[in-house]
Structure 1
Amino acid sequence: MVRRAFIMVEGHPRGNGLLYVQAAQRLGLHPITLSKDPAQYSYLADESVEAIRIDTDNVDALIGECSRLCATYDIACITGALDAVYATVGKLCRNFDLPGPNPAAIERCCDKFAQRQLLAEAGVPIPAYRLAENATDTESAAAEIGLPVILKPAAGSGSRGVRLCRNVDELAEHATYLLSGKHVWRSSPRMLVEEFAQGPYYCANIMGNEIIGIGAADFGPTPHFVCRGGAHPAPLADEEHKRIVDVSLSCLRALGLGWGPTNIEFRWTEHGPVVIEVNPRLSGAPDPQLVQLAYGVDLITEHIKLMIGDECDLRRRHSQSAGARYLVADREGTLDWIEGDIRAAAIPGVAEVKLYVGPKAPIVRRGDIRDCMGHVIAASPSLVQTEAILQRAVDSIEWSITPFPSLGEQEPHHVHGPVC
């Protein structure tokens, strides 16, 4: 019998890549990863996953490779976990007549300026914004919007290059950084200057046109936006929940989405929910695990079932509180050791403890998701109980960091739990 193949374009070294591979295997599929650098995904070797090195920016090359694989496998579906490849995934699905996202809608959505324009035209509440291509543009835009502002790349994820600029000097400094070559651009440099929407953060997890759950998260101190943790379900009143659902559905209509997964980020301001970003994909780990623990819905498995033509089951099976905490160092340097993860994992209610780094790893604080060294996930019948379990777990994890010599501090620095 010809094996049914699950093709994944790139993966995710810390997040959903492994979860997709494991879910595909449970469904009887043979996972194959196409990547520029398969070695960056350690789980491929751990799970004995077939990997093919290829330029994943070259659609024609990917079509050729998938055509070659058709001689050996029945390609059941093609997907990806990253914004950078998801439009390409849609094009491959169209080429091979497979269910998949609309590539044009994905491209519009991943261009944050185009996304903002479409949402504004549809009357969706968003922050005031301007497009900027140089430092002069950013200054003019900030003057029109009013400081403080958010300055960020017009494409990207994980808060890379996102910064709160409280005055003209900070704005000029960050614009210089983004345009100096230190920030990695996938296309020509384009920046967004946005009004700083202040208020609690929420995220809607969606499959098709159905809102599966709304979570909450909190972040470290500005000017950066490093997530410290999150929880499902978010502590919302019924009317607040309804307003976020209504705005979420408006986003899908405005952007031509509604097939497969979407996650939408909000800030609840004095005017109600304001859309910060619409991501035409699943949110990164550990969010899918939190959704599964809180509601009993496995978004990754259901996404694969949608792609291979099986019937999806998005019914909630239970209701409990699930939460996560990230482990974030408070300084740069060389990680001497990190321990306590096994002790933390043994605490009742802890669902997962995952470390992203090991001894001798360089710890460089970039002010985005890459600052996280690991995470802890827990679940219980109540948010208060879940938070207590998480606190006990992160208090069990310790590490030591020796600052880089250029920082002038040579003594190792011992830390208990996550520090932002």
Structure 2
Amino acid sequence: MARQALILVEGDRTSGLLYVQAAKRLGLYPITLVADPARYDYLAAEQVETIRVATDDLDALIRECSGLRDTYDIAGITGFTDLDESVSATVVKLCRHFDLPGPNPASIERCCDKFAQRQLLADAGVPMPAYRLAANAAEVESSAAEIGLPVIIKPAVGSGSSGVRLCRNADEIAEHTTYLLGGKHIWRSSPRILVEEFAQGPFYSVEIMGNEVVGVVAVDFGAPPHFVFRNTTFPAPLRDDEHRHIADVSLSCLRALGLGWGPTNIELRWTKRGPVVIEVNPRLAGALEPQLVHLACGIDLITEHIKLVIGEEWDLRRRHSQTAAAWFLVPDRDGTLDWIDGDNRASAVPGVVEAKLYVESNTRIVRKGDYRDRIGHIVAVSPSLAQTEAILQRAVDLINWSMTSFPNLGEQEESATPSGNAPMKDRAH
């Protein structure tokens, strides 16, 4: 009998390894199809069978999978990436070709286009920020004037907050539009820009499996104008009525977009008019949220997703109730990272589950204003929010680094108290 294989298209820095490990626990043989294996260090570390292929080429993926079927019984196909949201749409088409479980390809494609997504949500009456689509600098400028400052300017297709910026005046609008359209931003489709109202209020990430809201994660960001996750906490400190309101709005998004198979992540802000939807992602969240859910209530979203992918029944029963949180380490300037340490000390703090650094000493740091700016993370769990935050703060304070600014950016500076060690914010609203 042929060995059952799980095909993983591309990878992910935070959850890719967890998918590989979960597949093995389920008795599956994970095989990764990836454009650049060097992007994901766990592939070599775990000796994952890896095939280099253009993952944006559906025909090439079909050929590789057809060849693998000569040796393996392909139980399921899924995929993810922290680089290109369109991988999700390609994977769904691949599942359809081989008659394997998966969501509706049209629904996934509509979600990957943020403008198309916005239109469908608006038609369904889902609360959202005001928005306009622009193709050039003049249209961006006029759209911002119609909406009113400040505005969010971002690509209509993309992920990981790449190219997303808060613009508070005309100069910032012109600067960011030039960045997006001037050749510095990598477009994976025709350049189209969304100009959106800046919805203000606490930010939440809703984790959904199928049609069930598993829970809500509270999110804090680093300093504007960019939106780099700094701190995530599950469960979010919400009243029961607030949680119900967020869940109702989230489920209305699924109905509007034709979703409801597998994982969905919905990002929203609690504004003066209640929950306002920022974005719907037809996948698991990528900032450690699945790990926090697992730690806090015992639901392993990654394992349950794989079960669905291979046609088995999932189990979303809660097994315990704790509070888990993650803190991301983010430099406050560009420069050379002279040294960084403290991860071992942080790992030893009672209640810390993981303290991981993504970089080594003597690394050149050039911030991008998105998920790539993170240089490490710490995860903690305990029976209460206050205790978890105290554990996390103690561990964060043990991480130190020194950075020398690039000479052309002014005087050289040293920092042994990085921005990653800033006090955690009050999320009350």
TM-score, normalised with respect to structure 2: 0.96
Q: Which ranges of structure 2 fall in alignment gaps of 5 or more residues? A: 423-429
Corresponding residue for 1:282? 284
The Cα offsets for residues 342-391 of structure 1, whole Å up to 9 and x where unpaired, read as 11011110011111111222111121111111110001111000000000
- Say if 1:397 and 1:417, in contact at 8 Å, map to a contact too: no
Corresponding residue for 2:403? 401
Give the Cα separation in 2 of the matches to 1:416 and 1:87. Answer: 39
Superposed, 1:273-352 pairs within 5 Å as: 273-352=275-354
Corresponding residue for 1:6? 6
Whether 1:126 and 2:128 are equivalent positions in the alignment is yes
Aligned-partner residue type, residue 344 of structure 1: A
Give the Cα separation in 1 of the matches to 2:412 and 2:206. Answer: 44
| TM-fit CA distance, 1:160 | 0.9
Give the Cα separation in 1 of the matches to 2:213 and 2:167. Answer: 33
SS at match of 1:385: helix
Give the Cα separation in 1 of the matches to 2:249 and 2:91. Answer: 27
Report % sequence identity: 71
Superposed, 1:91-240 pairs within 5 Å as: 91-240=93-242
| TM-fit CA distance, 1:101 | 2.0
Give the Cα separation in 2 of the matches to 1:104 and 1:311. Answer: 24
| TM-fit CA distance, 1:226 | 1.4
- Say if 1:4 and 1:76, in contact at 8 Å, map to a contact too: yes
Give the Cα separation in 1 of the matches to 2:387 and 2:47. Answer: 38
The Cα offsets for residues 68-115 of structure 1, whole Å up to 9 and x where unpaired, read as 000010101111113230111100100001001211111100100000
Corresponding residue for 1:254? 256
Corresponding residue for 2:425? none
- Say if 2:86 and 2:109, in contact at 8 Å, map to a contact too: no
Give the Cα separation in 2 of the matches to 1:212 and 1:48. Answer: 33
Aligned-partner residue type, residue 17 of structure 1: G
Aligned-partner residue type, residue 259 of structure 1: W
| TM-fit CA distance, 1:417 | 6.5
Give the Cα separation in 2 of the matches to 1:302 and 1:285. Answer: 18
Give the Cα separation in 1 of the matches to 2:154 and 2:269. Answer: 17
- Say if 1:87 and 1:102, in contact at 8 Å, map to a contact too: no
Whether 1:75 and 2:74 are equivalent positions in the alignment is yes
Give the Cα separation in 1 of the matches to 2:25 and 2:338. Answer: 37
Give the Cα separation in 1 of the matches to 2:346 and 2:415. Answer: 21
Give the Cα separation in 2 of the matches to 1:285 and 1:407. Answer: 30
- Say if 2:19 and 2:302, in contact at 8 Å, map to a contact too: yes
Corresponding residue for 2:427? none
Give the Cα separation in 1 of the matches to 2:103 and 2:403. Answer: 43
TM-score, normalised with respect to structure 1: 0.98
- Say if 1:396 and 1:417, in contact at 8 Å, map to a contact too: no
Give the Cα separation in 1 of the matches to 2:418 and 2:63. Answer: 51
- Say if 1:350 and 1:377, in contact at 8 Å, map to a contact too: yes
- Say if 2:397 and 2:421, in contact at 8 Å, map to a contact too: no
SS at match of 1:246: helix
- Say if 1:395 and 1:416, in contact at 8 Å, map to a contact too: no
Question: Relative to structure 2, which stretch is displaced further, 162-171 or 296-305?
Answer: 162-171
Give the Cα separation in 2 of the matches to 1:10 and 1:323. Answer: 27
SS at match of 2:242: helix
CA RMSD of aligned residues (A): 1.1
SS at match of 1:265: strand
Give the Cα separation in 2 of the matches to 1:94 and 1:154. Answer: 26
Aligned-partner residue type, residue 67 of structure 1: S
Aligned-partner residue type, residue 36 of structure 1: A
| TM-fit CA distance, 1:235 | 0.8
Corresponding residue for 1:39? 38
- Say if 1:329 and 1:419, in contact at 8 Å, map to a contact too: no
- Say if 1:5 and 1:74, in contact at 8 Å, map to a contact too: yes
Question: Relative to structure 2, which stretch is displaced further, 242-251 or 33-42?
Answer: 33-42
| TM-fit CA distance, 1:410 | 3.6
**Structure 1 residue ranges, 4+ long, deviating more than 4 angstroms after superposition:** none
1:242 to 240, 244, 248: 244
SS at match of 2:154: strand
The Cα offsets for residues 193-230 of structure 1, whole Å up to 9 and x where unpaired, read as 00110000011100000000111011112111111101
| TM-fit CA distance, 1:419 | 5.0
Corresponding residue for 1:15? 14
Give the Cα separation in 2 of the matches to 1:417 and 1:344. Answer: 16
Corresponding residue for 2:48? 49
Aligned-partner residue type, residue 28 of structure 1: G
The Cα offsets for residues 213-252 of structure 1, whole Å up to 9 and x where unpaired, read as 1110111121111111010011111111111010011000
Give the Cα separation in 2 of the matches to 1:178 and 1:320. Answer: 42
| TM-fit CA distance, 1:416 | 4.8
Change beyond 3 A, Cα 1:137–1:25? same
- Say if 1:216 and 1:234, in contact at 8 Å, map to a contact too: yes
Whether 1:366 and 2:365 are equivalent positions in the alignment is no
Corresponding residue for 1:59? 58
